[in-house]
């Protein structure tokens, strides 16, 4: 059985459309700069502003906009547009952690919504001790980072080896308790 996990629905549709529009505007800006089209200077100025927004959006939201997890019975695969493709068999996963993003430039309250600002890290090698916003999925290190959700926890339930299932079960318990 295959299960695909996507990011938040707003990011999935509106975010991807905006990102692709930004990519098109930046391509138009490069075209105007190369061929020096005088008729398009005002449009190019708008595109330059769009390019600045694009760079910010690319750095901050790239992995949240285009990432997808494919979970099967044997492996988990992380992939997306402009992102590294990482495939790990469940038997090879030795390290798993759910980290909360509460350090640095983030608005984090004492009682956040269950799953808010939380990411799951899955790896075959020891996890880095850096802040969660500084960690990215890596094909070289066999590391997957993805925003946690109830659907993701249900798909991973019982598939991780040994004691790695305990944090997933606890997260599902928190989701169940929050619904009551």
Is pLDDT larger for residue 44 or for residue 16?
16
Q: Which residues pair with 138 in a beta bridge?
A: 143
For residue 67, what pLDDT is reported?
87
Whether the model pTM is above 0.85: no
Q: How confident is the model at residue 16 (pLDDT cuts 50, 70, 90)?
A: confident
Q: What is the pLDDT of residues 126-167, one digit of tens each?
A: 999 988 888 888 889 999 999 888 999 999 998 988 889 999
Q: What phi and psi, each to the nearest 5 degrees, are found at residue 51?
A: -65, -40
Q: Are 57 and 51 in contact (CB under 8 A)?
A: no
CB 2 within 8 A of CB 69: no
Residue 73, SS3 per DSSP: coil
pLDDT in tens, 25-67: 777 777 776 776 666 666 666 667 667 776 776 667 777 778 8
Backbone angles phi, psi at 85, to 5 degrees: -95, 120
Percentage of the chain modeled with pLDDT above 90: 28
Residues sharing a CB contact under 8 Å with residue 175, sequence separation 6 or more, in sequence order = 114, 115, 150, 153
* pLDDT given for residue 154 in this prediction: 92
Alpha carbon separation from 46 to 16, 25, 42, 59, 103 (Å, rounded): 20, 9, 6, 20, 35
Q: Is the pLDDT of residue 76 over 90?
A: yes
Q: Is the predicted pLDDT of residue 78 greater than 60, yes or no?
A: yes
Q: Over 60: is that where the pLDDT of 111 sits? A: no
Within its chain, how far is the Cα of 134 from the centroid? 12
């Amino acid at each position: 059985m295959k299960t695909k996990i996507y990011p938040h629905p707003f990011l999935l549709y509106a975010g991807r459309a905006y990102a692709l529009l930004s990519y098109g505007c930046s391509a138009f800006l490069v075209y105007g700069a190369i061929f020096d089209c005088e008729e398009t200077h005002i449009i190019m100025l708008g595109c330059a502003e769009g390019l600045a927004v694009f760079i910010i959006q690319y750095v901050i939201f790239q992995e949240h906009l285009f990432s997808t997890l494919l979970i099967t019975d044997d492996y988990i695969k992380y992939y997306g547009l402009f992102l590294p493709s990482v495939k790990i068999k469940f038997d090879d996963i030795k390290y798993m952690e759910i980290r909360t993003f509460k350090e640095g430039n983030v608005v984090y309250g004492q009682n956040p919504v269950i799953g808010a600002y939380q990411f799951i890290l899955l790896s075959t090698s020891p996890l880095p001790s850096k802040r969660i916003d500084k960690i990215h999925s890596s094909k070289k290190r066999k590391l997957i980072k993805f925003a946690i959700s109830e659907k993701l926890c249900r798909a991973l339930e019982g598939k991780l080896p040994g004691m790695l299932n305990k944090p997933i079960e606890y997260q599902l318990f928190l989701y169940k308790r929050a619904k009551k």
